[in-house]
Amino acid sequence: MAVPSLEEISAQLDSPNLRDRMVALASLRDIPAEDAVPLIKKVLDDESLQLRSMAIFALGIKQTSECYSILVKILETDPDYGIRADAAGALGYLGDGRAFEPLSRAFYEDTDWLVRFSAAVSLGNLKDTRARELLYQALDSEEVVLQQAAIAALGEIKDIDAVDRVLRFAQSDDWLVRQRLAETLGQLPTPKSVSALKYLEKDSHENVAEAARISLKRLEEAGYQA
């Protein structure tokens, strides 16, 4: 099947039919970022939240110099919390160190947990150690998903000092939290990590036990043994 031209995609993005616009946006996946981003921008204010969400995700993948400022503006000003969360997630994909500040602000100031969750995940994706204190605070959140995001992100930024703080989650009632912990400990080589992983290896939930086994193997292959 012939790849549509930029002109055809542009025309299709103006279609009154949502499905046409979605197909057009999806067809940009094989188009170079410099050509794709101007077309993605056409639907950033679309009436369809689903299409806007797709467009924001696309900006995180099709990276040009203007994507960062567009995503920050959406994160800071959009009235829809789902769209703000999408922008926070896309900033993590960009991997631009400048995103640390707006993502931190979103975590502290946004009133919606989904945006804060997305910001915490993206701070992990940035692998910026400045996120430590923020992520420590997220561990104390009443929202279990924020605890999960923080545990995972602390592993991403390789914060060895976090081991003592996250070990309490080995007793969590939520198996997903225990699984995140098992995955994270595989990135934090300490004797306590190995001990906790051996404990989690016997977890009643198979996903947790499997994650612990994989992490123990990972530490062993990295040459770390307690």
Q: What does the alpha-carbon distance between residue 32 and residue 182 come to, in Å, rounded to a whole number?
A: 38
| Helix segments in 62-143, DSSP class H | 67-77, 81-94, 100-109, 113-126, 132-139
Pick left, alpha or beta for residue 224 (phi over 0 → left; psi -120 to 50 → alpha; otherwise beta). Answer: beta
Q: pTM to 2 decimals?
A: 0.90
Q: So what's the pLDDT on residue 44?
A: 97
Report pLDDT digits (tens) over 41-66.
Answer: 999 999 999 999 999 999 999 999 99
> Residue 75: pLDDT above 70?
yes
> Residue 215: pLDDT above 70?
yes
Q: So what's the pLDDT on residue 111?
A: 93
User: Which of 90, 142, 166, 96 has its CA nearest to residue 121?
Assistant: 90
Would you kindly state where each structural domain of the chain is located, as residue ranges? 173-225
Q: What does the alpha-carbon distance between residue 119 and residue 102 come to, in Å, rounded to a whole number?
A: 9
